[in-house]
Chains A and B, each alone.
Chain A
Amino acid sequence: MTETGGAGTPPSPPADGVAGTPVAEAEGGWTAAVRGRLTSRLSVDELLPARQPAYVGSWVYVFGVVTIAALVWVVASGCVLALMGSAWWHTSSLGHFFNSIHFWSVQMFFIFMVLHLWGQYWGAGWRDGRAKTWMVGVVIFLFSIVTAFTGYLVQQNFDSQWIAVNAKDAVNSTGLGGFFNVLNFGQMYGLHVMLLPIGVTLLVVLHILQVRSRGVVRPIGDPYVPEATAGGVTAEAGR
């Protein structure tokens, strides 16, 4: 898909009516620069390729997508619970069923997220410029723990009460107790139902884009070796 535009030049949009002419990056300004980066690393072909390296053929690789699947059902069931209000599931058996879906998909989410973390750790998935992908993943993990924590607080049952009364001491000890009041249902509910899920979702999208744009890290012991010839014509092989 990419045309070889001469020694080392990134793909650039053609000038009006003159296809193939290398254009200074300044033309089109910021828009062109963003477009260039997106199309080279995040085009639909890059996001949804039909092939992967053969070394991706291991069950360890499915933990990530299974985690995403669990998250989808966490959010979907959460939407239903939010739609019907926080008291619904205590009095309706259908409501309780949706709460159960939410409860078990959260358990699945954490199980497979941790399995994914184990897999990435033992495969040292941060290599070859992927440290940020790893870091975003850890932030997702920590964010998820906080999201789950607020979730437990807004169940409006004994568990919520007990967790609130006990967690307050740890939160207060950090000085955050006045701003993050675990005894304040309204605050915890708003965080749990809106702010934190938005954060988690955005981070997960970022994480996926990072993985797709960089590709899957090579196996340990089979490192990436840059081309010895500087500025050689990029071959089309290996896509």
Chain B
Amino acid sequence: MNSPAPYLHWGFILISLPNLVLIAVMVALFIAALIVPFPHGAGHRGRDDDD
């Protein structure tokens, strides 16, 4: 892990692969959070107007 990281060069953008991977994972996590259904366990009891 201590050897130099690969870098990606697009125009004036220069980003390390670890940083790029991290950002890609973030975007993927966000999209997943939007899409993946959230488990709805015992949520539909109907009687939801009092505790």
The B1-51 residues at the A interface (CB cut-off 8 A) are 22, 25-26, 29-30, 32-34, 36, 38, 40, 43, 48-51
- Contact call B26/A58, Cβ cutoff below 8 A: no
A31, chain B: closest CB distance, angstroms: 29
Task: Give the chain A neighbours of B51 by CB distance below 8 A.
Answer: 50-51, 239
Task: Give the chain B neighbours of A114 by CB distance below 8 A.
Answer: 26
Task: Give the chain A neighbours of B26 by CB distance below 8 A.
Answer: 111, 114-115
Known: A57-B40, A59-B36, A107-B22. A238 touches B49 (CB 8 A): yes
Task: Give the chain B neighbours of A237 by CB distance below 8 A.
Answer: 49-50
- Contact call B38/A58, Cβ cutoff below 8 A: yes
Q: Mark A104-131, 1 if CB is under 8 A from B, else 0.
A: 0001000100110011000000000000
- Contact call A51/B48, Cβ cutoff below 8 A: yes
Q: Within the complex, which residue of B32, B34, B38, B50 is in contact with A57, where a contact is CB–CB below 8 Å?
A: B38
- Contact call A115/B30, Cβ cutoff below 8 A: yes
A134 near B: Cβ within 8 Å? Answer: no
- Contact call A54/B38, Cβ cutoff below 8 A: no
Known: A57-B43, A59-B38. A236 touches B50 (CB 8 A): yes
A-side residues, CB < 8 A to B, are: 50-51, 54, 57-60, 62-63, 107, 111, 114-115, 118-119, 236-239
B-side residues, CB < 8 A to A, are: 22, 25-26, 29-30, 32-34, 36, 38, 40, 43, 48-51
